[in-house]
Homo-oligomer: A and B are copies of this chain.
């Protein structure tokens, strides 16, 4: 809604994989908003973790630790 970096189409595919039979478009948008919010939170934490480790480059290990 407020950002939309992630495209909408993959949301429906993922929802079908999780066992959803039918899905409304607003459900796909709600899922996308939720994921973008989660990504921002994880990114913010990962950025702090990278600096804490003396780096400016965020690596996979920062993302993983940030999401714990």
A interface residues (Cβ-Cβ under 8 A, vs B): 3, 5-7, 10-11, 13-15, 17-24, 26-27, 29-31, 34-36, 38-44, 46-47, 50, 56-60, 62-64, 67
Complex formed: what's the CA distance from A59 to B20 in Å?
A: 11
**Dominant secondary structure at the A interface:** helix
Q: This chain: how many copies in the complex? A: 2
Indicate if the CB atoms of B60 and A43 lie closer than 8 Å.
no
Indicate if the CB atoms of B39 and A14 lie closer than 8 Å.
yes
Contacts of A3 in B (CB 8 A): 14, 17
Complex formed: what's the CA distance from A59 to B63 in Å?
A: 30
**A45 CB → nearest B CB, Å:** 9
